[in-house]
């Protein structure tokens, strides 16, 4: 005997509750309708209306209203109405904080922490975050950068603020929130700063081949502690960033193949890199590996060989004595340099 097919007239619950329970079911009412020759419409009535429907009779009434609007060609989804309203928002009715929030939501890619911090400080300065963007003037922005200079921020640091704030206003102009970018003035632009010398000075030798002045590397390693020494050598030999080295674990170091792997999730460039291990760095890593195995064996007497290797794999290469991650080296660096 064929099962009787229920006619829901395009209205139903999408859940595991039986039809008998629909009257008291807590789940959404769902709408399904396809006019002749038209597109199919499927969505949650509760979400579309922005409220919880009380009963089936109310759901039927709302569904019939929507079907009538669809047939007449006047129905517009609530999400589309919200987007249209946001796009049509005038500068006089939106604050700088609201603009920042819209920008973050629609950008599609996450903001870098540095840019987000620059914009956050900009909004907090003098209550700029509550000011409508149509009333924002060049004087407001000049006052912010003057405050940065008063606080002794370097030119390179102020340039980061210029870049982050310009990006926000450039997007606002392109989307129609602003008629003109207030940061495009000649008085608010990136400044020139002294370039950093990234090369270490070599040894200075006399005609007889004797060292008259030691190289920066030699002088630094002579005063650095053991942990800092290993980090400096690793940085020179691998060209890795400090953060990449501090989070490097033994699972990503292959001393047999002489390779170390910098994972994408730990890299600033968001790409995985496989780097060769030089002879000099290899010696440093082999000694460090032996030391961490000894420390973990002493800390966990009776540990099996397999468990020991798994524990070592989780340990940080440039961590503390038992492989814990070291977050900062500023104090060790300052002590060595000063």
CATH number of domain containing 209: 1.10.443.10
154 shares a domain with 222: no
The answer to whether residue 237 is domain-embedded is yes
155 lies in the same domain as 278: no
pLDDT of the residue at 194 = 58
Q: 133 with 177: CB under 8 angstroms? A: yes
**pLDDT score for 93:** 67
**Whether 149 and 232 share a structural domain:** no
116 burial type by CB count under 10 A (0-12 exposed, 13-18 middle, 19+ buried): middle
List 21's β-bridge partners, or say none.
none
Task: Answer yes or no: do 119 and 144 share one domain.
Answer: yes
Domain assignment of residue 182, yes or no: no
Contact at 8 Å (CB) between 162 and 148?
Answer: no
Do 55 and 93 have their domain in common? no
Q: Are residues 138 and 209 in the same domain?
A: no
pLDDT at residue 193, rounded to an integer: 59
Give the pLDDT of residue 321: 86
Q: Decide: residue 23, CB within 10 A, 0-12 exposed, 13-18 middle, 19+ buried.
A: exposed
- Provide long-range contacts, Cβ within 8 A and 24+ apart, for 39-45: 41/66, 41/70, 41/75, 43/77, 45/11
Range of the domain at 136: 89-174
Whether residues 150 and 58 fall in one domain: no
Q: Please check whether residue 261 lies inside any domain of the structure.
A: yes
Q: Are residues 94 and 135 in the same domain?
A: yes
- Among 36, 54, 80, identify where a domain stops: 80
At which of 80, 108, 132 does a domain end? 80
31 and 124 part of one domain: no
Is 251 among the domain residues? yes
Same domain, 245 and 328: yes
What is the rounded CA–CA span in Å between residue 220 and residue 259? 26
Q: Are 68 and 99 within one domain?
A: no
b/e sequence 65-86, b meaning 16+ C-beta within 10 Å: ebbeebeeeeeeeeeeeeeeee
98 and 69 share one domain: no
Final residue belonging to a domain, choices 56, 80, 104: 80
In-domain check, residue 185: no
- Count: domains in the chain: 3
The sheet carrying 259-262 orders its strands as 253-254, 259-262, 273-276
Does the residue 229 lie in any domain?
yes
Residue 225 belongs to a domain: yes
What is the distance, to the nearest Å, from the Cα of residue 114 to the centroid of all Cα atoms in its chain?
10
Question: Is position 308 within any domain?
Answer: yes
Sign of CA dihedral 112, 117, 118, 123: positive
Averages of pLDDT over each 10 residues, the chain, 338 residues: 61 80 79 86 86 83 88 83 60 77 74 76 86 81 86 84 83 80 65 66 81 85 90 92 92 94 83 92 93 89 88 92 89 86
- What spatial distance separates the first Cα and last Cα of the chain, rounded to whole Å? 92
């Amino acid at each position: 005997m064929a099962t009787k097919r229920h006619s829901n007239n395009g209205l139903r619950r999408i859940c595991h509750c039986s039809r008998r329970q629909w009257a008291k079911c807590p789940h959404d009412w769902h709408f399904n309708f396809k006019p002749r020759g038209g597109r199919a419409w499927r969505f949650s009535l509760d979400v579309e209306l922005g409220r919880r429907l009380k009963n089936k009779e109310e759901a039927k009434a709302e569904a019939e209203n929507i079907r009538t609007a669809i047939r007449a060609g006047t129905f517009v989804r609530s999400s589309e109405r919200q987007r249209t309203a946001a796009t049509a928002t005038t500068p006089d009715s939106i604050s700088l904080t609201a603009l920042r929030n819209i920008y973050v939501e629609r950008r599609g890619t996450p903001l870098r922490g540095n840019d987000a911090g620059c914009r956050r400080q900009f909004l907090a300065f003098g209550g700029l975050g509550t000011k409508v963007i149509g009333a924002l003037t060049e004087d407001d922005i000049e006052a912010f950068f003057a405050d940065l200079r008063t606080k002794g921020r370097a030119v390179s640091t102020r340039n980061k603020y210029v870049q982050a704030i310009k990006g926000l206003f450039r997007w606002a102009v392109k989307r129609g929130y602003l008629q003109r970018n207030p940061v495009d003035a000649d008085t608010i632009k990136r400044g020139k700063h002294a370039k950093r010398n990234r090369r270490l000075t070599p040894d200075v030798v006399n005609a007889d081949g004797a060292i008259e002045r030691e190289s920066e590397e030699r002088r630094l390693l002579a005063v650095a502690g053991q942990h800092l020494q290993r980090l400096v050598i690793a940085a020179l030999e691998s060209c890795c960033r400090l953060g990449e080295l501090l989070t490097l674990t033994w699972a990503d170091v292959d001393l047999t193949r002489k390779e170390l792997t910098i994972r994408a999730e730990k890299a600033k460039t968001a790409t995985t890199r496989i780097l060769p291990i030089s002879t000099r760095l290899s010696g440093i890593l082999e000694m460090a590996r032996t030391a961490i195995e000894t420390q973990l064996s002493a800390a966990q007497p009776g540990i099996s060989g397999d468990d020991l290797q798994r524990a070592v794999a989780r340990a940080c290469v440039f961590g503390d004595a038992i492989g814990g991650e070291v977050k900062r080296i500023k104090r060790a660096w300052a002590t060595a340099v000063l």
